[in-house]
Amino acid sequence: MTMIARHAEPGRRAAWHGFPVWLGLLPFALVLAILFAVPVFSLLRLAFGEGGFTLAHFQRMVDVPVYRSVLGTTLGIAALVTLLAVLASYPLAYVMATVGPRMRSLLLLLVLLPFWTSALVRTTAWIILLQSNGVVNKLLMGSGLTSSPIAFIYNLSGVLIGMTHVLMPFIVLPLYAAFRNLELSTVQAAESLGAGPLTIFARIILPLTAPGVVAGSMIVFMNAIGFYLTPALMGGPGQTMIAQMIASNINTDLNWPFAAALATVLLVATISMLVLFQRFFGLERLIESGGGKAGEPFTVTSRGRSPGGWATVAAAGLVAAFLIAPIIIVFPMSLGSSPFLSFPPESYSLTWYANFFSTSKWVAALTRSLQIAGVVVVSSVVLGTLAALGVSRMRPRWRAAVETIFILPMIVPVIILAVGLYYLLAPTGLVGSIWGVALGHVVLATPYVFITVRAALKSFDGNLELAALGLGASWPTMFRRVMLPGIAPGIAAGAIFAFITSFDDVVIALFLTNIRSRTLPKLMYEGVAHEIDPTIIAASCLIILVTILVLGANLLVSKRT
């Protein structure tokens, strides 16, 4: 803080040769203006009429029953997913907080691995598991529990399963933090005053973990209303959500103004949630964990668990299995040799991997995805690091506002950015090359770098900077030799998130690539939407492996420092 205060003193400034705030903020601000604000606003403008001002498109949304019901479905599904995610998160977070450190790390891995695995891969895995001749149905019929296959997907249950799986970590993680912040003695005090397990849950644990749950729920709801991939692949016509309606208005009906009106509604809903969130919790909550407390955290003492506690453990086991099952099951399936999907496979081979690497469309798509990810990582690391440096040095007064603007691309539904960029870039010819989609990914990925580097800078001791400058180093030398090594883990983490963001994206690629420039996830999406052939499963496993590798690398980097 003193560092910043000194910075604001004009007299000192000349002698300081510090890093100018504008140089940090400007590059990303320009990128956001040109590639985020312009496309989004020009799309939204369409909603209010191309000639004169009109609200006719919004009127139509209310008047036509189909559209009314899509809005209702969107809100309903988002609410149901939020509720399911909360219900599933409680037992898991409780168990994570009350087991030994090893088991806790394992459970954390079970939550984080799906969290960082491509949503498309997870959706694909669920379809393989749940389709009418899929793994689950075969097990159920084989055991005689049902005689005919149960329809798990292409209906509401499919959408709920897929979306809850994708979004649950947003509640598990803050809830786990809330449990860890709960003090053992608080619970014991209630017990000594005569409260039984149910009363303790209702009157102590529930109110004390509620803020974490509400914060997580708002993030889940905010994400859920803009979901495209999962409802499109796992739902039926009755589960059409607003993002699909936007896409179909553009792709099939070519009704841009109406798509823009739908996008406006989605954007307003999302931003309202964001404002609410910031009002109640502050955006820091997205980044930081709770403050440390002196007391011993909530755990199970030598008396062991109550019967209710054991029931909760069992429930948590089911939830953990639900989280990890799709990721576990695709691996053996990818090693099968028959062209028909079966689990477990009758014989093992690398046929489908060989097929993947010998088919030119797969290899070309993989190469393109890696090229794009490379461009995106380099650009977003530079932009995000500069932006974080700039924000850390600016006056506190405007800092919160700038921070909010810089993370907006994470919050605004991707479909809106994708359609907006499509509208903006279609005339330029960038859509057919890797550059269009790369530009979109840079907008999406830079906020991750910004957040991780910002966090690293917050924990970087400002006195080190003053000490180096005081010893005669110029600012660039100080940055290279003192600050950069200090914040390198943050930059590395940001680079990894940027890579995953780009490498996993489907929605931007759907709109900004064509048959000659499609990425690996887009090619997979096309396959999943029509018919899943085993090469797609091999591709899914490759993506999971890449994710594990990249996350493992991050773990190594952060352990070393």
Partner 1 sequence: MTVPALGKAVSIRSLDKSYGATKALNGVSLEIAAGEFCTLLGASGSGKTTLLKTIAGFENYDTGAILIGGTDIGPVPVSKRNIGMVFQNYALFPHMSVRRNVAFGLEMRRLTKAEITSRVEEALALVDLTAYAERLPRQLSGGQQQRVALARALVIKPDILLMDEPLGALDKNLRQSIQLELKRLHAAVGATVVYVTHDQEEALFLSDRIALMDKGRIVQAASPRDLYDRPANRFVAGFLGECNFIPTPTGTVAVRPEKLRVGSQANDCNQVFEARLLSVIFIGRGYRLILELEGIEITVLTETSDEIAALRTNGLVRMGFRKEDIIATE
Residue 210 C-beta: closest distance to partner 1, Å: 9
- Return the number of other C-beta atoms located less than 10 Å from residue 534's C-beta: 24
Q: What is the DSSP string of 83-106?
A: HHHHHHHHHHHHHHHHS-HHHHHH
- Interface positions, 187-246, toward partner 1 (CB under 8 A): 188-196, 199, 203-204, 207-208
Under the binding rule (CB under 8 A), the answer on residue 533 touching partner 1 is: no
**336 phi and psi angles, rounded to 5 deg:** -70, 170
Q: Report which residue type is found at 60.
A: R
Residue 206 C-beta: closest distance to partner 1, Å: 10
The residue (of 142 and 292) whose beta carbon lies closer to partner 1 is: 292
Piece of the chain touching partner 1 by CB under 8 A; list 47-55, 114-122, 250-258, 302-310: 302-310
Q: Which residues pair with 297 in a beta bridge?
A: 183
The residue (of 23 and 206) whose beta carbon lies closer to partner 1 is: 206
Q: Is the C-alpha dihedral spanning 213, 216, 221, 224 positive or negative?
A: negative
Rounded Cα distance between 456 and 461, Å, is: 10
The residue (of 199 and 459) whose beta carbon lies closer to partner 1 is: 199
Piece of the chain touching partner 1 by CB under 8 A; list 221-229, 301-309, 370-378, 429-437: 301-309
Residue 209 C-beta: closest distance to partner 1, Å: 11
Q: Report which residue type is found at 194.
A: G
- Here the tokens at position 468 are 């180096």
Residue 281 C-beta: closest distance to partner 1, Å: 16
Rounded Cα distance between 387 and 29, Å, is: 8
Piece of the chain touching partner 1 by CB under 8 A; list 298-306, 312-320, 384-392, 492-500: 298-306
Residue 97 C-beta: closest distance to partner 1, Å: 17
Residue 186 C-beta: closest distance to partner 1, Å: 5
HEC per residue, 470-502: HCCCCHHHHHHHHHHHHHHHHHHHHHHHHHHHH
Q: Which residues pair with 348 in a beta bridge?
A: 336
Under the binding rule (CB under 8 A), the answer on residue 299 touching partner 1 is: no
The SS3 of residue 324 is: helix
Binding mask 304-323 for partner 1 (x = CB under 8 A): x-------------------
- What are the b/e assignments for 491-508, b being 16+ CB within 10 Å? bbbbbbbbbbbbbbbbbb
- Here the tokens at position 245 are 């309606």
The residue (of 255 and 299) whose beta carbon lies closer to partner 1 is: 299
* Nearest one of 375, 351, 352 to 519, comparing CA atoms: 375
Residue 292 C-beta: closest distance to partner 1, Å: 13
DSSP 205: I
Under the binding rule (CB under 8 A), the answer on residue 360 touching partner 1 is: no
**Can you tell me which of 14, 15, 254, 294 binds partner 1, judged by CB under 8 A?**
294
Residue 120 sits at the vertex; the CA angle it makes with 114 and 125, to the nearest 5 degrees, is 70
Tokens 């030119």 found at:
360
The residue (of 207 and 292) whose beta carbon lies closer to partner 1 is: 207
The residue (of 102 and 303) whose beta carbon lies closer to partner 1 is: 303
Residue 193 C-beta: closest distance to partner 1, Å: 4
The residue (of 292 and 304) whose beta carbon lies closer to partner 1 is: 304
**Can you tell me which of 54, 59, 185, 359 binds partner 1, judged by CB under 8 A?**
185
Q: Which residues pair with 336 in a beta bridge?
A: 348
Residue 50 C-beta: closest distance to partner 1, Å: 54
Q: Which residues pair with 183 in a beta bridge?
A: 297
The residue (of 303 and 516) whose beta carbon lies closer to partner 1 is: 303
Q: Report which residue type is found at 528.
A: V
The SS3 of residue 290 is: coil
**Can you tell me which of 6, 183, 287, 405 binds partner 1, judged by CB under 8 A?**
183
Residue 300 C-beta: closest distance to partner 1, Å: 11
Binding mask 125-164 for partner 1 (x = CB under 8 A): ----------------------------------------
Q: Contact 451/407 with Cβ under 8 angstroms? A: yes
Under the binding rule (CB under 8 A), the answer on residue 302 touching partner 1 is: yes
Residues present in the chain in total: 561
Rounded Cα distance between 353 and 200, Å, is: 53
- Here the tokens at position 87 are 């219900």
* Nearest one of 224, 231, 229 to 158, comparing CA atoms: 231
Under the binding rule (CB under 8 A), the answer on residue 301 touching partner 1 is: yes
**Can you tell me which of 37, 38, 48, 186 binds partner 1, judged by CB under 8 A?**
186
Count of residues that bind partner 1 according to CB under 8 A: 23
Cis status, amide bond into 489, omega within 30 of 0: no
The residue (of 10 and 304) whose beta carbon lies closer to partner 1 is: 304
Residues lying near partner 1 in the complex (CB under 8 A) are found at 183, 185-186, 188-196, 199, 203-204, 207-208, 294-295, 301-304
